[in-house]
Amino acid sequence: MATGSSGSARRPRRRPPAITVLRVGHRPGRDPRLTTHLALAARALGAERMYLHPPDEAVAATLHGVVERWGGTFEVVGAPSWQRVLREHPGPVVHLTMYGLPLERLAPRLARERSLLVVVGGAKVPAPLYRAATYNVAVAHQPHSEVAALAVLLARLRGVPGPGAPAGARARIVPRAHGKKVVASAGGVGGRR
Ligand code: SAM
């Protein structure tokens, strides 16, 4: 049977990159729902943390409540300076913008990184951000939404999580063809990622 260095030898699966999100251009009090949805999508699709510039305690508190019930360690951290978040991040900075290079072209390279900082803008994006980014990346070259762009990037680089609760969950969804079923979770031990 072919083993060893032949083509049938299996390579260990590479770990997907750890992803931190930085949201710039948030307008506290004006669009809490959009930024909250961005954070919810980031958490559900496997990001570890979201820095929020400017800080907004209301969004951070909402996500804290979600994590208490549904598990995991995701957090929203206020960032008075987005430049500082970029300076202190140990890996490449990926800025999502419709003007960037196609995600499909860059995805294989990004997937090999250990840690990415993914930056999404709001209505206005500071010009220096385009220069400060390691990669400016487009998810289709049409205007759409920061939530959509982030979700597609996370799904492309990390896959879409299946059923199962993250560690620490108090509740877990049982998938059903119709209706809703939520059960108390035993802390999510053995759950997904
Ligand atoms: N003119 C902005 C731009 O540079 O993409 C559009 C602002 S849009 C309302 C808010 C954010 O959504 C952008 O800063 C970007 O992060 C994200 N976004 C929108 N369309 C995108 C696309 N096609 N590809 C990647 N990101 C996109």
Asked whether the beta carbons of 185 and 70 are under 8 A apart, the reply is no
**Residue appearing with tokens 């289709």:** 140
> For 17-65, what is each residue's pLDDT tens digit?
999 999 999 999 887 999 999 999 999 999 999 999 999 999 999 999 9
- Nearest residue (CA) to ligand 1, atom 23: 98
List the beta strands (DSSP E) in 24-114. 49-52, 75-78, 93-102
**Ligand 1 contacts CB of residue 98 (under 6 A):** yes
Q: Which CATH class is domain 18-160+168-192?
A: alpha beta
**Ligand 1 contacts CB of residue 143 (under 6 A):** yes
Q: Is the pLDDT of residue 5 over 50?
A: no
Please state whether beta strands 49-52 and 135-138 pair in parallel, antiparallel, or not at all (unpaired).
Answer: unpaired
Higher pLDDT, 36 or 14: 36
Tell me how far the alpha carbon of residue 97 lies from the centroid of ligand 1, in angstroms: 4
**Ligand 1 contacts CB of residue 148 (under 6 A):** no
Count of beta carbons in the 10 Å neighbourhood of residue 24: 21
Q: What is the pLDDT of residue 188?
A: 55
Q: Is the pLDDT of residue 107 over 70?
A: yes
What confidence tier does 132 reach under pLDDT thresholds 50, 70, 90?
A: very high
Residue 136 pairs in a beta bridge with 95
**Ligand 1 contacts CB of residue 86 (under 6 A):** no
With a pLDDT cut of 90, the percent of the chain lying above it is 84
Q: Is the pLDDT of residue 74 over 70?
A: yes
Q: Is the pLDDT of residue 7 over 80?
A: no
Q: What is the pLDDT of residue 94?
A: 98
